Structure 1
């Protein structure tokens, strides 16, 4: 049995989370390269479907023996996983990777400070708002408005994923929870994939690329994050996760030749500062499994 197949992985939490961030953004770069061939919806279907198969084979969750409480936790988790991935890929087809991830980050950031009455938390929200405003196409040109909206909706799903993923991590092992959730996510996006007809263009080469995408973007990071959610302090988890927009922007530059404007880079930095600041100044820090400023995957 490998380290990832045990409920308590031997992989330290911090390296697990950093590997998760790098894996996801590398996978996103691969995904965007596949879009011209099978579309964003088809790519979503390949990624989630292959991920589900891999995770089922690796972890072999006893789905028939899940309790009512476990299904009540994993069903909404899987639905949100499917919606989050589909919305994010639809956004990614329209806007650069770095900006898509930056906008998506607004969801968990707002969740992290929700209910707070501290003035400092308002500062973080305003800072993120300024960042979003800097990349909003107020004049009707520049960044695609629909792409931005889709990224923000994906961020709302991400916020829900944080809450639901925490619940799943409390009732199931990391492997079983992710595998079962990915099966539900596959069923969630299947109608959209079938209606799109995109998978009719799949070739063996594309299938291999889809497998690499599934491993990098879903199978590995979802598992690593649930591992980290069990033990990592909330502040550390959230601060490390706030690096993700910058990692995404750099991957966009290196792999996709997506050069952001100065205002785009400033937006990335502002949202990162807001997210990291909210984590560092969070009131009464506790283990990540009991906070709402952690968790992600698209």
Structure 2
């Protein structure tokens, strides 16, 4: 077993997922200055493009193993990744990080509830929605429909991302799949990102974007790919209940966004909904032929 495979075997799937969440929220919080300089789509373009360069430098895209039936899922995951990145970055221009994360979390939580095969589990997306209402407080004048709208679109994209990531993760190794899909995401972001970023690029901005590209997308996408191949979509989706709380914490520490008492209650409701909907379990292997050899299922450094 290679060193990379050995590390992957020792780290539990939930540990991979939590580390990915921390990296995502730190990368989002640190992206605010870049958003101010080149816009949300420009930031998405730089992060995804530089992330694609990093991935292509450390992994050769498995083009020879791609079959025609793989193409729709690869394209779908790449385009979804690009749109989710733009939508979320546009949202945090308008609303606090923790609030944006909580709204976006409705996507995977709904996936988790539907895939749990339990009618009782369907109550938890409703509880999380109540928490989001307390967070956004639409009865107050400070409600920002633009930020909420962008995050709602990101929530739909995140739900699709989870399902597509699992499908691609079953077919390719983690880094190999990312080396195929992140360039597609970068091309997707380029449609709007090039006009936003044009004329604003400097060596300092490019250096900052390169650092952020490691935090997001390279590290978390790789860890999520590995986690989803060892967990059910339900277990992964509901474990993400921690993400709104992490978003609030990093929003407070880095962006100085102080939530009110009622907003803290809203975050707790979202976290409670995810935790209550949690369904344990690793994924059940279908067969050696379908899942690939053990070595193929690990990220090899």
Smaller-chain TM-score bracket: 0.7 to 0.9
- The answer to whether 1:241 aligns with 2:240 is yes
Residue 127 (structure 2) pairs with residue 127 (structure 1): yes
SS at match of 1:155: helix
Kindly provide the CA deviation profile for residues 97-145 of structure 1, in whole angstroms up to 9, marking residues without a partner as x.
1110010000111122227774522321221121122133433512311
TM-score, length basis structure 1: 0.87
- C-alpha change, 1:243 and 1:116, in structure 2 (3 Å) is closer
Deviation (angstroms), 1:253? 0.4
Equivalent residue number for residue 290 of structure 2? none
Contact 1:230 1:289 in 2 (8 A): no
Q: Would the aligned equivalents of 2:48 and 2:182 in 1 still touch at CA under 8 Å?
A: yes
**Superposition map of 1:1-80 within 5 A:** 9-10=8-9, 12=11, 13-63=13-63, 65-80=65-80
In 1: Cα distance, 2:3 partner to 2:222 partner: 11
In the other structure, the counterpart of 2:294 is: none
Offset, 1:213 = 0.8
Q: Tell me the distance in 1 between the aligned counterparts of 2:3 and 2:142.
A: 46
Determine the C-alpha separation between the residues in 1 that align with 2:19 and 2:101. Answer: 17
How big is each residue's C-alpha offset from its partner over 1:185-210, in whole Å with a ceiling of 9 and x where there is no partner? 011111111232x2421111111110
Aligned counterpart, 1:114? 114
Aligned to 1:201: 200
The 1:170–1:269 alpha-carbon spacing in structure 2 relative to 1, beyond 3 Å, is same
What is the rounded CA distance, in whole Å, between the counterparts of 1:151 and 1:289 in structure 2? 34
For residue 69 of structure 1, report the CA deviation from its aligned partner. Answer: 2.6
Alpha-carbon shift at residue 31 of structure 1 (Å): 0.7
Alignment of 1:273-288 (within 5 A): 273-280=272-279, 287=283
**Structure 1 stretches (4+) deviating beyond 6 angstroms?**
none
Is 1:94 aligned to residue 100 of structure 2?
A: no
> Which range moved further: 25-34 or 156-165?
25-34
User: Could you tell me how far 1:7 is from its partner in structure 2?
Assistant: 11
Aligned partner of 2:190 in structure 1 is 190
SS in 1 for 2:199: helix
How do 1:244-259 residues align onto structure 2 when only pairs under 5 Å count?
244-259=243-258
Q: Counterparts of 2:249 and 2:56 in 1: how far apart (Å)?
A: 32
State the shift of 1:60 in Å.
1.4
Aligned counterparts, 1:147-162, within 5 A = 147-162=147-162
Does the C-alpha gap of structure 1 residues 240 and 16 become closer, same or farther in structure 2, counting only changes over 3 Å? Answer: same
Task: Report how far residue 246 of structure 1 moved.
Answer: 0.5
Flag the 1:229–1:117 CA change in 2: closer, same or farther, 3 A. Answer: closer
Secondary structure at the aligned position of 1:135 is classed as: helix
Note the aligned Cα RMSD (angstroms).
2.5
SS at 2:257's partner residue?
coil
Task: Give the whole-Å Cα distance in 1 for the aligned partners of 2:156 and 2:146.
Answer: 15
Per the TM alignment, residue 146 of structure 1 is displaced from its structure 2 partner at its CA by 1.1
Partner secondary structure for residue 105 of structure 1: helix
Contact 1:81 1:185 (8 Å CA) reproduced: yes
CA shift for structure 1 position 268:
1.2
